[in-house]
Structure 1
Amino acid sequence: MTKPILYTCAGSRGLRATWAAEEAGAEIDLRILPFPPRYLAPEYLALNPLGTVPLLIDGEDRLTESCAIAHYLATRAGPSLLAIAPGEADYAAYLDYTYHADATITFPQTVYMRFCLFEKDKGLQEAGQAYAKWFHKRLVKIEQRLATREFLCADRFTVADICIGYALILAASVGLDEGVPGSLKAYRERLTARPAYQRAVAREEAGRKALADEPREG
């Protein structure tokens, strides 16, 4: 079986995919791009006209949604404890929290980052801070779910934890941690202590460093 190719930027949403691959023991050809690739790696647009990361290429199949890629890599070789199957307890919750990660949690983070970090010169910080508050208010569902659980679904670590966990990891790195409840910070600590997570981060960082060390033309 040919290894899927994962294009991503170190620390981006693609970390969900790299992490899932490490948890599942799935071999991938990891290719780290400079950020933002649409400007710094324009040749990438021939593969993904959106210019976004991650992108997974597996034969004729192409996926561009990080949560979908994480689920795909976790189950590509067959049923996995990282996913919850139809008919299994918490199947509906597994789907809900996996999709909740981007649709409700990461979305306001992205807008905040654009207005308050990447495009500060446009004077939209006030709007960005409104999205920061949106993000913090939307954490209540996760907080309540984890009040009596170690993990989100089926009393075990799954892709749903990877997808939600990444949003909490991102919050810590972009200045959104002040409004994150202590219980969710503890949950994040449990997730980031996992060996597979640490391997994924190290692997992406090694790729980023190799990219930075490449000789430049001119």
Structure 2
Amino acid sequence: MTQKPVLYTCAASRGLRATWAAEEAGVEIDLKILPFPPRYLAPDYLEINPLGTVPLLIDGDARMTESCAIAHYLATKDGITDLAVAPGDTDYAEYCDYTYHADATITFPQTVYMRFAIFEKDKGWADAGHAYAKWFYKRLVKIEQRLQGRDFLCADRFTIADICVGYALILAKNVGLDDGIPAGLKAYRERLTGREAYKRAAEREEKGRAALPS
């Protein structure tokens, strides 16, 4: 029997992109929810992933640690699907661009904000964190302009690019960055989080978190 891909992640982390993609694609995964941060609270995980980061996908000999790449991989591992845009198809370039844009441009300032303004605010770096919040808001302009007159980012359908970008908007709501999100992007986020696959993914991760030892 073929072994299922194993996904190590923390609930509601960037790994949600991968859990969500698996649900959308109908790919069965063995989901392993870790306490956050795993490098401190699950030290044995470092033997599997020396970086100590999540997510980590293991599928046979394949080992992947980038959430957007994992999401794309899960949606295409058995062949191209409507969740991706194939080379030569309309919006292929845009699909690639927005999928990478999600982490490289949008999620990056969020993570710096979280470090300075939330996780290490007692060190007096809150002002730096709020500066990164403003940077994050400014970097939403490309997404906002792209979605004018569109429900989704690419090819007139929901794709992995929407999962990758949408997660950044979900994270913004979860960490106190929602005030600067334009109304149009909030409506886009509502469309995404209303999907049944998203609800299943979020519920599955939350159940995993609830089952962790206290």
The answer to whether TM tops 0.5 is yes
CA distance in 1, matches of 2:125, 2:92: 40
1:50 paired residue number: 51
User: Is 1:151 matched with 2:152?
Assistant: yes
- Provide Cα deviations, 1:116-146, integer angstroms capped at 9, x if missing partner: 0000111011110010000000000000000
Say whether 1:92 aligns with 2:121: no
The residue identity in structure 2 corresponding to 1:48 is: N
Q: What secondary structure does 2:163 align onto?
A: helix
- Residue 57 of structure 1 aligns to a residue in which SS? strand
Letter in 2 for 1:71: H
Corresponding position of 1:124: 125
Which letter does structure 1 place at the counterpart of 2:81? Answer: S
TM-superposed deviation, 1:79: 1.2
Distance across 2 between alignment mates of 1:14 and 1:2: 20
- Please state if 1:189 is matched with 2:190: yes
Residue 108 of structure 1: CA displacement? 0.1
Question: Within 1, Cα distance between the matches of 2:81 and 2:125?
Answer: 44
The SS at the match of 2:212 is helix
SS, match of residue 142 in structure 1? helix
Matched, 1:203 2:211: no
SS of 1:106's partner is helix
**Which residue does the alignment assign to 1:63?**
64
Task: Give yes or no for the alignment of 1:17 onto 2:3.
Answer: no
The AA in structure 1 aligned to 2:150 is: R
Report the 3-state secondary structure (helix = DSSP H, G, I; strand = E; otherwise coil) of the residue aligned with 1:147: coil
> What CA distance in whole angstroms lies between the structure 2 residues aligned with 1:197 and 1:23?
8
SS at match of 2:82: coil
Q: CA deviation at 1:212?
A: 3.6
Q: Distance in 2 between matches of 1:152 and 1:102?
A: 15
Structure 2 unaligned regions, length at least 5: none
> Quick one: distance in 1 between partners of 2:39 and 2:113?
20
- Residue type matched to 1:90 in 2? D
Letter in 1 for 2:144: E
Q: Which residue of 1 aligns with 2:106?
A: 105
Secondary structure, counterpart of 1:62 in structure 2:
strand
In structure 1, give the amino acid aligned to 2:8.
Y
How many angstroms apart in 2 are the aligned matches of 1:61 and 1:190? 33
**Equivalent residue letter for 2:206:** E
Q: CA deviation at 1:189?
A: 0.2
Aligned counterparts of 2:129 and 2:213: Cα–Cα separation in 1: 30
Tell me the CA shift for residue 2 of structure 1.
1.8
TM-score when normalising by structure 1: 0.97
Which residue of structure 2 aligns with residue 169 of structure 1?
170
**TM-score between the two structures when normalised by the length of structure 2:** 0.98
1:160-201 Cα deviation digits (max 9, x unpaired): 000000000000010100000000000000000000000000
CA deviation after TM superposition for structure 1 residue 55, in Å: 0.1
Letter in 2 for 1:207: G
Task: Report the aligned-residue RMSD.
Answer: 0.7
Shift of 1:76: 1.1
SS of the equivalent of 1:211 reads coil
